[in-house]
Chains A and B, each alone.
Chain A
Amino acid sequence: MAQLEIQNLHVQVEDNEILRGFNLTVKQGEIHALMGPNGTGKSTLAYAIMGHPRYQITEGDILLDGESILDLSPDERSRRGIFLAFQYPVAIPGVTLANFLRVAINARRKAEDPEDKGISIVKFRQMLKAKMELLKMDPAFAGRYLNEGFSGGEKKRAEILQMAMLEPRFAILDETDSGLDIDALRIVSEGVNALAGDHIGILIITHYQRMLNYIKPDFVHIMYGGRIVESGKAELALRLEESGYAWVREKYGPLPKEEEELTS
């Protein structure tokens, strides 16, 4: 049962309910795309899965391989194989990308074997070099401070580099395509494709078809008002690209917030 299951998830941020009964199961080997208007709660979902302390789960459950992960800290979730490529990656001044990745890899090894002495420098360098080549990254990035002064696209590429290095079983890519130029989009998408396969389930959060031209999703879901309202195949994304969300709004009505605004 290698799957990530989100059951009837309700999530609050500072007393506002953002997710309202979100359901989704991602199995290993599957690629899902999640689309939806701005502010509908896609990143909230991603943070809640990763265990961000500000996102309070008031109802529902998140199961990994059939077991709830709600009591696990974010680092434990990561070490169990969940990965989030952030929509807005955070800069860590003074910590180089390479050093950070080595610490992250060693944290995994240490959790498995407390006696572990850490990955050898040589092996780590080889691995980093190979993955950076895969993503056509300038090796100089390894020595730069994590995300500090990275351009928007460089940050996104660095997120996928981290994914490549940490080899997760479930990856959530939150708008990884935004900020990438046309060539970068192709390179990063090909990188993700190289990482995809039977051993990994991927959830791609995106607003556009462009990344899905490279990474073919098995399922596409439309999120609206804090839950999934439509699910389908790849064509669903094309329909959104053509006609936007007007039909979704019409079909499912205005959001509670919008309703308040209308009545007041």
Chain B
Amino acid sequence: MANAKRNTTQIDNHEFPGRFRLVQEMLAVSPLQTYRRSAWELAEQLSFPSKKDEAWRWVDLSELNFAELRQVNGSARTAVLAADKLESFIRNEKSYLGSLIVSPAGVIRQVDAQAEHAGVIFTDFRTAEKEYPELVAKFAGSVVKPDESKFAAMTAALAEDGFLLYVPTNCRLEKPFLVQILAAAGNHQATFTHTLIWLEAGASADLELAFGSLPAGSASQTFHSGIVEVHLDDEAVLNLTEIQEFDHQVWNITHERAQVGRNTRLAWLYGALGTHLSKNFVDIDLLGRDAEVQVKGFYLTDDKQHIDLDTQQNHLAARTTSNLLFKGAVTESSAAVWEGMIYVAPTAMQTDGYQSSRNLVLSRSAKVNAIPGLEILADDVRCSHGATVGKIDEEELFYLQARGIPLLDAEQLILEGFFGEVLELTPDEAIKEDLKSKISKKFAEVRSRREHTEVG
């Protein structure tokens, strides 16, 4: 009975649109008017994902206070944060071809003039809508469809933040781009972001994409929903490093997909450290022959975090290769889910597909679910998968301890080594070091809490 009662409150609470509105002035100037309107209608029609939906069965949204959520629009946006505070997020430690900070509080953009001259477009989503309406209208919704979930539809309709990176045919960029997407924090604010990464034939680029939070106004629930659309035309090459480090009060849902053409190379490094709860769909469609994709991911969860990653490698053309490895460690009372699927279409002969997930459980109340899947409809393919969940090896710990390294340091060293394999995917030493130190910092926090409770 208690359950039934809870369900009714949940439905009330999750009534759409709640406090969300399609802002007419915004629509009026948007090249995505039709797209946004029909997405809004979809958002009204589609039901909230629940545990009854296969893809959402590990995701518990009942505690999300949806009715309270509101998007910061229009003039209220700039009031979110003083501009000088936003500048404190600027990172100058290395030379980027372009860097972009996108947030409800404003945008800070810098881009190499020569790259712009060569036809590269690198700008925040709202500016892209205004200045490149044809491109945005062509790209938006071509890779991730608004009907993929209620959240995808809401995001398609409402996104004001995000960015466009467009690299024209045969334009090869040597230096990386950096984008920091900062969501509003606290005060039940919701941020919707739409990201378009579009490489024309023979183009190549490196992009570091970081999701984070603005300084929090309050500790209340905060919401982010994002769409990430990646398109690689034939022969294009993209190194994408994505790191999610939202504050712990953020509920985060993303629909991310890359569609890659003939003889493309995509390396996608995906790290998840933040949020209270995350549900991420990370899909790869291999559409052209000889495409090669590598996806490596990591997650390290603490406290009561729940991170749920759903990956798909869809082989839709012959002689395509995909190689996916996710590594995770769960601590304290947190939980992580990785569910993967390799799909091989009947025509995708000579596919080479691999997926694997390796997990370490570092506390008794932490949980991991790692579920690989294969659906192969073609002959003459090489596909395999593996998933492991275990503890840190006792013999490894003892070996390090026998060299004088205290237990917790030994655990940290093993953990850093464990994640090292995944970080190898980025060719950029600075990014690698940065991610390493983020992982170490988070683990050090877990450690110090543990040391305190053990002493106390």
Chain A interface residues (CB < 8 Å from chain B)? 50-54, 73-75, 77-79, 84, 86, 89-95, 99-100, 103-104, 107-108, 111, 145, 162, 166
B395 touches A107 (CB 8 A): no
A53 touches B418 (CB 8 A): no
B409 touches A107 (CB 8 A): yes
Provide the residues of chain B in CB contact with A93, threshold 8 Å. Answer: 417-418, 420-421
Q: Given contacts A75-B407, A93-B421, list 15 more A-B pairs with CB under 8 A.
A: A51-B401, A73-B407, A74-B401, A75-B410, A78-B401, A86-B402, A89-B399, A92-B413, A94-B421, A95-B413, A104-B403, A104-B405, A107-B409, A145-B417, A162-B403
A107 touches B405 (CB 8 A): yes
CB contacts under 8 Å to A, within B387-402, are: 393-396, 398-402
A54 to B398, CA, bound (A): 10
A110 CB, min distance to chain B CBs, angstroms: 9
A104 to B405, CA, bound (A): 5
A90 to B397, CA, bound (A): 9
Contact A75 B417, CB 8 Å, known A103-B409, A107-B406: no
Provide the residues of chain A in CB contact with B456, threshold 8 Å. Answer: none
Chain B interface residues (CB < 8 Å from chain A)? 393-396, 398-407, 409-410, 413-414, 416-421
Provide the residues of chain B in CB contact with A89, threshold 8 Å. Answer: 399
Q: Which of A53, A86, A104 contacts B404 (CB 8 A)?
A: A104
Q: Could you write out 21 A-B pairs with CB less than 8 Å apart?
A: A50-B402, A73-B407, A74-B402, A75-B404, A75-B406, A77-B402, A78-B402, A86-B399, A93-B418, A93-B420, A93-B421, A94-B416, A94-B418, A94-B421, A95-B414, A95-B417, A103-B405, A104-B404, A111-B404, A162-B403, A166-B403
A94 touches B420 (CB 8 A): yes
A107 touches B404 (CB 8 A): yes
**Closest Cβ neighbor of A95 among chain B residues:** B417
Provide the residues of chain A in CB contact with B393, threshold 8 Å. Answer: 90
A79 to B405, CA, bound (A): 8
A6 CB, min distance to chain B CBs, angstroms: 17
**Closest Cβ neighbor of A82 among chain B residues:** B402
Contact A90 B396, CB 8 Å, known A95-B413, A95-B414, A145-B417: yes
A78 CB, min distance to chain B CBs, angstroms: 4
A14 to B417, CA, bound (A): 31
A166 to B404, CA, bound (A): 9
Provide the residues of chain B in CB contact with A53, threshold 8 Å. Answer: 394, 398
Provide the residues of chain B in CB contact with A51, threshold 8 Å. Answer: 401-402
Query: Nearest 9 A-B pairs (CB), nearest first?
Result: A94-B417, A94-B420, A78-B404, A95-B417, A74-B401, A90-B399, A104-B403, A75-B401, A79-B404
Q: Which of A78, A92, A111 contacts B414 (CB 8 A)?
A: A92
Provide the residues of chain A in CB contact with B401, threshold 8 Å. Answer: 51, 73-75, 78
A89 to B403, CA, bound (A): 12
A37 to B305, CA, bound (A): 53
A167 CB, min distance to chain B CBs, angstroms: 11
B400 touches A92 (CB 8 A): yes
Identify which of B393, B402, B418 gathers the most chain A CB atoms within 10 Å of its CB. B402
A90 touches B395 (CB 8 A): yes
Provide the residues of chain B in CB contact with A108, threshold 8 Å. Answer: 404
A19 to B400, CA, bound (A): 25
A95 to B420, CA, bound (A): 8
A94 touches B419 (CB 8 A): yes
A94 to B414, CA, bound (A): 8
Contact A92 B396, CB 8 Å, known A103-B409, A103-B413, A145-B417: yes
**Closest Cβ neighbor of B421 among chain A residues:** A94
A174 CB, min distance to chain B CBs, angstroms: 11
A107 to B406, CA, bound (A): 7
A128 CB, min distance to chain B CBs, angstroms: 14
B358 CB, min distance to chain A CBs, angstroms: 10
Provide the residues of chain A in CB contact with B394, threshold 8 Å. Answer: 53-54
A92 touches B399 (CB 8 A): yes
Provide the residues of chain A in CB contact with B419, threshold 8 Å. Answer: 94
A69 CB, min distance to chain B CBs, angstroms: 13
**Closest Cβ neighbor of B406 among chain A residues:** A75
A75 to B411, CA, bound (A): 13
**Closest Cβ neighbor of B398 among chain A residues:** A52
B414 CB, min distance to chain A CBs, angstroms: 6
A149 CB, min distance to chain B CBs, angstroms: 13
A147 to B409, CA, bound (A): 19
A91 to B178, CA, bound (A): 36
A91 to B419, CA, bound (A): 15
Provide the residues of chain A in CB contact with B405, threshold 8 Å. Answer: 75, 103-104, 107
B402 touches A95 (CB 8 A): no
A145 to B416, CA, bound (A): 12
Provide the residues of chain A in CB contact with B406, threshold 8 Å. Answer: 73, 75, 107
Identify which of A52, A91, A94, A162 gathers the most chain B CB atoms within 10 Å of its CB. A94
**Closest Cβ neighbor of B327 among chain A residues:** A94
Provide the residues of chain A in CB contact with B396, threshold 8 Å. Answer: 90-92
